[in-house]
Amino acid sequence: MTTDHPLREPDQIRQDCNRKLRVVQVSDHFQAILGCLLGEDWTTPRLIEMVVTSDGHLLGRCDGEAEFKAFLGEVDDLIRNIQGVAPVAELDGDEVGYLVAKVAEIKRQR
């Protein structure tokens, strides 16, 4: 079976997400979260790490901070927001899957 779409490495998918999402206008808050998921420096201060609490809240740690002080919302809302921005940014299934997988990685770190 052949495919019309070449297989992309995870880093290529990340770069494609970066390119597409960078031009979409979203809130600074969501931009910081997306930048963190993609390993990009999109905001000041930069959100460098996120964790999910046992009750599903997303907390963030900004560059220069020792603790997770930033309340970012609920992880379920983040998934819905990713799915909502996907058609606007013209993300394909691999790109949406990449972002959702990054959120799943954060959830597993509990």
pLDDT tens profile 69-82: 999 999 999 999 99
Global confidence as pTM: 0.90
Does residue 5 form part of some domain?
A: no
Let me know if residue 60 belongs to a domain. yes
Q: Does residue 3 belong to any structural domain of this protein? A: no
Q: Is there a domain that residue 2 lies in?
A: no
Residue 42: domain span: 10-108
**Which 3-state string (H, E, C) describes the chain?**
CCCCCCCCCHHHHHHHHHHHHHCCCCCHHHHHHHHHHHCCCCCCCCEEEEEECCCCEEEEEECCCCCCCEEEEEHHHHHHHHHHHHHHHCCCHHHHHHHHHHHHHHHHCC
Establish if 74 belongs to a structural domain: yes
Q: What is the largest CA-CA distance in the chain?
A: 51
Q: What is the count of structural domains for the chain?
A: 1
Per-residue pLDDT of the chain (110 residues; tens, 9 = 90+): 455 667 899 999 999 999 999 999 999 999 999 999 999 999 999 999 999 999 999 999 999 999 999 999 999 999 999 999 999 999 999 999 999 999 999 998 86
